[in-house]
Amino acid sequence: MTTFKKTISAIALAGVSIVAVAAGVQAAEKRPAELAPLGEPPSPPDNPMTPEKVELGKLLFFDPRLSGNGAMPCSACHLPELGWDFPDKISLGYPGTVHWRNSPTIVNSAYYGNLFWTGVSKSLEAEARTAARGGVAGNGEDDMMEARLAFIPEYRERFNDVFGTEYPLMRDAYMAIAAFERSIVQRDTPFDLYMLGDDDALSDQQKRGMELFTGKAGCSTCHDGALISNQKYYNLGVPAYDGWEDDELAQITFRFELYAKGSTEEKYRKWKDDPGLYFVTKQEADLGKFRVPSLRYTKYTAPYMHNGMLETLEDVVEFYNQGGGTNDWAATKTDLIKPLGLTDKEKADLVAFVESFSGERLLMETPDLPEYEPLPAVTN
């Protein structure tokens, strides 16, 4: 008996209609090969996830004591009720400063190979450390933050249970925060349900949008796979952040970042736009390039792009429909973007499909944080 016949016989013995199976196979073949549903989030062997570690990371994520001034938790820029990001063009900055880039959502960040807009951190552990210590973000120092944690009995107990240390270490704090962030995933979106076989999970409009996404609009050239991102870097011609024209603090932050990340005197004086990936590679071919973000959960994460210059998903679709924009880095703009010639109906269909990458809002209340107490007296 052939393998095919054996398979059919097994299905029949299981009481499953062969016609139904054939219909299911036929339906599955309609799914676009460029896209896929999300699988289980990774759990790195050097930082395995446990319920206790995730719960500790949750407390630390919301705890403002992990910052320079004791008032800037991770959640200040990643608000659960507002998309797990910050609802403005530019993220919240450390008091006395402003940030200089849009705050990405942490939803599904477990699946990224490179974190931040220019991939400067290669893991969520490194991302947590970079954010907590960044000059216009958390502005913290490990020794000061460790000292604060040492005065909190519940943290001493939790760190000892999870990591086996007598006192909390920031190295372990970043690992716990990363474990918590890996738990913030969404895998039951209409898109995922459709890709797993539910023909009714997408509306007719969304299915038309899917055809555009993988066809005429060419979105899946860069937004593919299960993450809906190839995680590569491109200059799309996104215009410079308009706050640099009239916001004094934003101008100071921009100059600070140019200086801190390394640029010549000439470039420091001349550049008026975010150099992007150039800061990582120092290759002028990478000027203005930023990582392709996932389109998952984007229904709740407006505004869009690395500097928030596009306000709505409709604006994003129109931006691509026009062939991108113009900025100071015209020489490096990708040739993948060309005018699309989409009709108003097609643009609406495309937006509807992009919204299918988002399910219900993922909400979470701020946990009650443990209190300081005096360290126990040392006895001989």
State the average pLDDT for the chain: 92
Is it the case that residue 200 has pLDDT exceeding 60?
A: yes
- Cis bond upstream, residue 303 (ω within 30): yes
Q: Are 14 and 8 in contact (CB under 8 A)?
A: no
Q: What pLDDT digit, counting tens, does each position of 347-364 carry?
A: 999 999 999 999 999 999
**Which residues are paired to 235 by β-bridges?**
333
Q: Name all domains of the chain by residue range, CATH numbers in brackets.
A: 51-182 (1.10.760.10), 186-360 (1.10.760.10)
Taking the C-alpha atoms of residue 368 and residue 231, their distance in angstroms, rounded to an integer, is 36
Q: What pLDDT digit, counting tens, does each position of 147-158 carry?
A: 999 999 999 999
Q: What pLDDT was estimated at residue 101?
A: 97
pLDDT band for 379, please (50, 70, 90 cuts): low
Taking the C-alpha atoms of residue 320 and residue 298, their distance in angstroms, rounded to an integer, is 16
Q: What pLDDT digit, counting tens, does each position of 44-74 carry?
A: 999 999 999 999 999 999 999 999 999 999 9
Strands annotated E in the chain: 233-234, 290-291
Q: What pLDDT was estimated at residue 4?
A: 36
**Residue positions in the annotated binding site for heme c?**
74, 77-78, 219, 222-223
Q: What pLDDT was estimated at residue 375?
A: 85
- Give the whole-number percent of the chain exceeding pLDDT 90: 88
Q: What pLDDT was estimated at residue 79?
A: 97
Please give the angle made by the CA atoms of 142, 146 and 147, to the nearest 5 degrees. 120
What is the rounded average pLDDT of the residues 275-281? 95
Query: Six-digit token pair at 45?
Result: 């062997």
Is it the case that residue 328 has pLDDT exceeding 70?
A: yes
Q: What pLDDT was estimated at residue 263?
A: 84
What size, in residues, is the chain?
380
Q: What pLDDT was estimated at residue 9?
A: 40
* Burial class for 19, CB neighbours closer than 10 Å (0-12, 13-18, 19+): exposed
Contacts of 210 by beta carbon, 8 Å cutoff, 6+ apart: 32, 202, 353, 356
Q: Are 355 and 317 in contact (CB under 8 A)?
A: no
Q: What pLDDT was estimated at residue 5?
A: 38
Q: What pLDDT was estimated at residue 335?
A: 96
pLDDT band for 81, please (50, 70, 90 cuts): very high
Is it the case that residue 28 has pLDDT exceeding 80?
A: no
Q: What pLDDT was estimated at residue 30?
A: 84
What is the rounded average pLDDT of the residues 210-237? 98
Is it the case that residue 7 has pLDDT exceeding 90?
A: no
Is it the case that residue 337 has pLDDT exceeding 50?
A: yes
* Burial class for 46, CB neighbours closer than 10 Å (0-12, 13-18, 19+): exposed
Query: Six-digit token pair at 37?
Result: 């549903």
What is the rounded average pLDDT of the residues 1-21? 38
**Residue positions in the annotated binding site?**
74, 77-78, 219, 222-223
DSSP code string of 45-114: TTS---HHHHHHHHHHHH-TTSSSSS---GGGTSBGGGTTB-SSSS---STT---SS-----TTGGG-SS
Question: What pTM did the predictor assign?
Answer: 0.90
Q: What pLDDT was estimated at residue 277?
A: 97
Q: Are 33 and 103 in contact (CB under 8 A)?
A: no
Taking the C-alpha atoms of residue 226 and residue 7, their distance in angstroms, rounded to an integer, is 29
Q: What pLDDT was estimated at residue 262?
A: 85
Q: What pLDDT was estimated at residue 377?
A: 76
Q: What pLDDT was estimated at residue 376?
A: 81
Q: What pLDDT was estimated at residue 6?
A: 38
* DSSP at 121: B
